[in-house]
């Protein structure tokens, strides 16, 4: 595809055609609301990533503009998020000390590498890769990550020095420093957390009771962290809490950083590549999940491949603008949606608002207690913790339960990078396990109909001379041998057998390994004077079979339907009760 045609297909040229004053007003209102929410959130997530607070703001400017140009979702809001911030801290923390220039430079390079990976996947249309990470596994990973994140922020709430990237290390470190609690810090952090928990559940009903509209009350409730930030800044400044050991954000550089390429170090690139791949996968899956949910509410659609491009461009923009890895965030996207955003332009307007904040509001952030930012993170991530996934998967699928439980346990014990790696491997392993033993059923004709059903579930008509086996899954290298063994076992049990019909309504693919297994089945049955037949083979599958010489050596026939097969091979089973043939 010529480059000009590719550019013309960018989503911005789609929604831009119908952009008008009414949409502009809706987008602007949404941008103002999201900006108010995003300022404390960006600062908090930078703290979680172990980075200077301004990098959270930088990661909330250019990425939003890039996504507005390249993203396919109308309402997704990109920026720093909790899980990606934690993964950034885990990845960069192995290579440099927090607070150093090397640490910040590594985080910027991490965003760049992630951006390149996502962009490459998008250009090669590989959005389907997200399907290899099952939703239950993602839910288990996010739940475990939420617990780790919340625990990691307790050190800021209580003003102690504690470290660790897994739950055990964090708890051990917190217990070891429990005697060092700064009670003034705790007196700020704990009430802030309680206030924010109340805001999530109690502020909206109170505002509605006071006469505010439901929508406005909902939006104000979601911007609750702003009130906590403003009040805590006023208290810290009035009582000079920094002189009493309370950790404050301190001086935040005013204005925007100069655009620049990340500092490249080939050894550092290789050291970060694995973490960047995991961050890219998790960020993409989380972002697409949010985008699809919101798009469905307005009967819109998103393009996963274009989302890869949009997120890739956003991460590259974050790297050029002094930020760190970003993705689509659930909370801010929901606020953006509820506030009435109509197009990605709302994100670009939000970027302008954040940029203005870096010029005019950063001096006021000096007295912001880190305990309040930690409380903001704790409240936000605990809403993601969902232990009910364990109960649901246990009842529905023991294999999925094992995957979720393993992912959660590994994440909690060994950290997020091991956890997400285990999640990917477990998802693929479970898929291979499930598909390696495809469901098959011996079927017979339901009397008075042309329908064929499982003999173990229905009262059906069968023939001793005909074995009709329905295959309920595509055939490929992992399950081809299973089908061979299944057919041989069934044939060995019936000495009167003359025909085997493989009923294939659910077979969408037959790979080369499976084709070789079918050839082996055909040859072995021929040696036993049993013919192999097929029925209800789909067109694309038949097209591939015709490209081989398999059909030329097939001992039996390929029937249009299972009924046609029975009518030809066991006509006595197709006789109605009055004895007149049902054949047409």
239-253 pLDDT, tens digit per residue, is 999 889 899 998 889
Tokens of 234: 């006023």
Residue range of the domain that includes 484: 440-573
Q: Quick one: 306 and 338 in the same domain?
A: yes
35-50 pLDDT, tens digit per residue, is 888 888 899 999 999 9
Tokens of 178: 């429990």
Amino acid 583: pLDDT: 42
252-262 pLDDT, tens digit per residue, is 899 888 898 89
Amino acid 127: pLDDT: 77
Report the distance separating Cα 205 and Cα 214, nearest Å.
9
Report the distance separating Cα 489 and Cα 468, nearest Å.
14
Q: Confidence class of residue 397 from pLDDT cuts 50, 70 and 90?
A: confident
pTM above 0.85, yes or no: no
In a domain, 3, yes or no: no
- State yes or no: pLDDT of 6 exceeds 80: no
Q: Quick one: 415 and 458 in the same domain?
A: no
How many helices (H) and strands (E) the chain has is answered by 27, 9
Domain boundary pick from 371, 399, 430? 430
Report the distance separating Cα 118 and Cα 120, nearest Å.
5
* Short-list 324, 284, 322, CA closest to 73: 284
Q: Quick one: 386 and 291 in the same domain?
A: yes
Q: Quick one: 423 and 460 in the same domain?
A: no
In a domain, 537, yes or no: yes
Tokens of 417: 């990078």
Long-range pairs for 18-26: beta carbons < 8 A, 24 or more residues apart:
19/343, 19/345, 23/342, 23/343, 23/345, 24/345, 26/340, 26/341, 26/342, 26/346
- State yes or no: pLDDT of 453 exceeds 60: yes
- State yes or no: pLDDT of 582 exceeds 50: no
pLDDT average, residue stretch 460-474: 93
**pLDDT over 70 for what percent of the chain?**
96
- State yes or no: pLDDT of 4 exceeds 60: no
Q: Quick one: 338 and 464 in the same domain?
A: no
Domain boundary pick from 404, 430, 456? 430
Please state the domain count of the chain. Answer: 2
Residues 6+ apart with CB under 8 A from 484: 517, 520, 521
- State yes or no: pLDDT of 1 exceeds 50: no
* Short-list 536, 70, 569, CA closest to 314: 70
Q: Quick one: 74 and 190 in the same domain?
A: yes
321-338 pLDDT, tens digit per residue, is 999 999 998 878 888 887
Q: Confidence class of residue 580 from pLDDT cuts 50, 70 and 90?
A: very low
Q: Quick one: 64 and 203 in the same domain?
A: yes
CATH number, residue 548: 3.30.750.24
Q: Quick one: 388 and 507 in the same domain?
A: no
Q: Quick one: 395 and 486 in the same domain?
A: no
Query: Which range has the worst mean pLDDT, 11-15, 59-63, 103-107, 507-511?
Result: 11-15
Q: Quick one: 339 and 392 in the same domain?
A: yes
In a domain, 19, yes or no: no
139-149 pLDDT, tens digit per residue, is 888 899 889 99
Question: How many residues can be counted in the chain?
Answer: 584
- State yes or no: pLDDT of 464 exceeds 70: yes
Domain boundary pick from 430, 464, 491? 430
In a domain, 383, yes or no: yes
Measured torsion, CA atoms of residues 416, 417, 418, 424, in degrees rounded to the nearest 10:
100
Residues 6+ apart with CB under 8 A from 532: 500, 502, 518, 521, 522, 525, 526, 554, 555, 556
Q: Are 344 and 15 in contact (CB under 8 A)?
A: yes
Query: Which range has the worst mean pLDDT, 179-188, 298-307, 446-455?
Result: 298-307
Q: Quick one: 423 and 548 in the same domain?
A: no
pLDDT average, residue stretch 7-26: 82
In a domain, 4, yes or no: no
pLDDT average, residue stretch 511-539: 95
In a domain, 482, yes or no: yes
Phi and psi torsions of 496, nearest 5°: -90, 0
In a domain, 445, yes or no: yes
Element (H, E) at 531: strand 531-535
In a domain, 2, yes or no: no
Amino acid 227: pLDDT: 85
pLDDT average, residue stretch 298-306: 85
Q: Quick one: 246 and 108 in the same domain?
A: yes
Query: Which range has the worst mean pLDDT, 166-180, 367-381, 422-436?
Result: 422-436
Phi and psi torsions of 57, nearest 5°: -70, -45
């Amino acid at each position: 595809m010529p480059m000009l045609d590719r550019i013309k297909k960018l989503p911005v040229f789609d929604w831009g055609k119908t952009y008008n004053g009414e949409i502009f007003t809706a987008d602007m209102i949404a941008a103002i609301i999201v900006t108010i929410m995003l300022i404390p959130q960006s600062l908090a997530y930078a703290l979680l990533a172990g980075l200077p607070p301004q990098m959270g703001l930088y990661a909330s400017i250019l990425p939003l503009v890039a996504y507005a140009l390249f993203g396919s979702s109308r309402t997704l809001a990109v920026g720093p998020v909790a899980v990606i911030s934690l993964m950034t801290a885990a990845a960069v923390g192995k290579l440099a000390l927090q607070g150093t220039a090397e640490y910040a430079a590594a985080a910027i390079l991490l965003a760049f590498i992630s951006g390149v990976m996502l962009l490459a996947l998008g250009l090669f249309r590989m959005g389907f890769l997200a399907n290899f990470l099952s939703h239950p596994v993602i839910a288990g990973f996010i739940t475990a990550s939420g617990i780790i994140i919340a625990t990691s922020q307790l050190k800021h709430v209580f003003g102690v020095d504690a470290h660790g990237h897994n739950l055990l290390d964090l708890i051990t470190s917190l217990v070891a420093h429990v005697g060092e609690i700064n009670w003034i810090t705790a007196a700020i952090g704990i009430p802030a957390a309680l206030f924010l928990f109340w805001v999530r559940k109690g502020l909206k009903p109170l505002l509605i009771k006071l006469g505010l509209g439901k929508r406005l009350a909902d939006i104000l409730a979601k911007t609750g962290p702003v009130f906590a930030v403003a009040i805590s800044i006023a208290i810290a400044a009035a009582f000079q809490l920094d002189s009493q050991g309370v950790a404050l954000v301190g001086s935040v550089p005013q204005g925007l950083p100069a655009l620049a390429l990340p500092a490249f170090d080939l050894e550092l690139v290789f050291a970060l590549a694995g973490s960047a791949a995991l961050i890219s996968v998790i960020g993409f899956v989380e972002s697409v999940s949010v985008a699809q949910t919101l798009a469905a509410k307005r009967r819109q659609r998103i393009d996963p491949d274009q989302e890869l491009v949009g997120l890739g461009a956003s991460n590259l923009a974050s790297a050029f603008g002094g930020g760190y890895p970003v993705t689509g965030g659930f909370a801010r996207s929901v606020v953006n949606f509820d506030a009435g955003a109509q197009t990605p332009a709302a994100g670009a307007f939000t970027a302008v608002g954040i940029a203005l904040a870096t010029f005019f509001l950063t001096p006021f952030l000096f007295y912001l207690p880190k305990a309040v930012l930690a409380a903001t993170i704790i409240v936000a991530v605990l809403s993601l913790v969902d232990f009910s996934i364990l109960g649901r998967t246990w009842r529905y699928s023991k294999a999925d339960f094992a995957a979720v439980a393993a992912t959660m346990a590994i994440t909690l014990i060994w950290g997020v990078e091991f956890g997400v790696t285990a999640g990917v491997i477990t998802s693929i392993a479970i898929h291979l396990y499930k598909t390696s033993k495809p469901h098959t059923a011996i079927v017979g004709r339901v009397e008075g109909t042309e329908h064929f059903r499982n003999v173990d579930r229905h009262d059906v008509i069968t023939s001793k001379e005909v074995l009709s086996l329905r295959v309920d899954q595509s055939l490929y290298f992992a399950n081809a041998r299973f089908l061979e063994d299944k057919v041989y076992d069934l044939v060995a049990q019936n000495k009167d057998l003359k025909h085997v019909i493989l009923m294939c309504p659910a077979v969408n693919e037959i790979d080369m390994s499976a084709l070789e297994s079918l050839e082996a089945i055909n040859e072995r049955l021929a040696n036993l004077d049993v013919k192999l037949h097929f029925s209800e083979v789909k067109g694309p599958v038949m097209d591939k079979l015709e490209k081989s010489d398999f059909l030329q050596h097939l001992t039996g026939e390929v029937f249009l339907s299972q009924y046609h097969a029975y009518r030809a091979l066991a006509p006595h089973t197709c006789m109605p009760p009055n004895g007149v043939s049902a054949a047409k």
